[in-house]
Structure 1
């Protein structure tokens, strides 16, 4: 049985899988949710060499505030020599990631398992 992590906010749960910290986003990620998530995301991405998976598998809505969270997390992790991967299958969010070019910098994977298989390559400056 898989242990469900306690939510940090109603929009974010954090768990460990292998050596990675998985940040699970939930529900509608808008400006209010981003304000709740940001301090927790900053704490998790502040470690040198952090290994992070951003999991958008449980989102229902994702706006530009969510994009800013992804960009911020990516930059913080890479600045500290870490690795970061993205999980996303939500069609509208994938479209936004492609249109904005973020999908090239942070290529989305369909599952956390698939993201963890990419551990040999960090999502770099592109």
Structure 2
């Protein structure tokens, strides 16, 4: 075998995750989980969302915004740390939801996240809800 043979990446075989990407819910991970609550999809972020973990959240948001007219709530109340990598993923998902005539909202009661959104100029784009909407009148 030649030395450059070690640098080659094998082609994915049929039935691998590469073949299934975009179909069905994302794989379970320790940084996000998704559930349906009435008419909207709740993506709950957990722990620290940073450069190393933002794409784990992004996988859930991509799946939640993949259909027509998505109504997504991103619950950030269980997040201990959130940086600009998380903001990038939120902006991408929110733009995708709008393209599909839907919406994406965030749920957070943490002052530190409100300061991050304000500092990034995103507070008007993502005005945080203090909790999950309970009644039909709060869901609109």
Fold shared per TM-score above 0.5: yes
Q: Unaligned stretches of 5+ in structure 2?
A: 1-26
Residue in 2 that maps onto 1:31: 51
Q: Check conservation: 1:56, 1:88, Cα contact below 8 A.
A: yes
Aligned residues: 114
**What secondary structure sits across from 1:31 in the alignment?**
coil
Structure 1 residue ranges, 4+ long, deviating more than 4 angstroms after superposition: 114-118
TM-score, structure 2 length as denominator? 0.74
Instruction: Identify if the C-alpha distance between structure 1 residues 58 and 45 changes in structure 2 by more than 3 Å, giving closer, same or farther.
Output: same
Q: Distance in 1 between matches of 2:68 and 2:135?
A: 20
Looking at secondary structure, tell me which structure has more helix per residue: 1
CA distance in 2, matches of 1:52, 1:76: 11
Alignment map for 1:1-126 (pairs within 5 Å):
8-113=28-133, 117-120=137-140
Q: TM-score, normalised by structure 1?
A: 0.82
Contact 1:87 1:115 survives alignment (8 Å): no
CA contact (8 A) 2:55 2:89 kept: no
Distance 1:87 1:115, change over 3 A: farther
- The structure with the largest strand share of the pair is 1
More RCO (CA 8 Å, sep 6+): 1
Moved more, 107-116 or 40-49: 107-116
Extract unaligned runs of 5+ from structure 1.
1-6, 121-126
Matched residue, 2:24: none
For residues 69-112 of structure 1, give each alpha carbon's deviation from its aligned partner in whole angstroms, at most 9, with x where no partner exists: 11111100011001221101122111011121211012101001
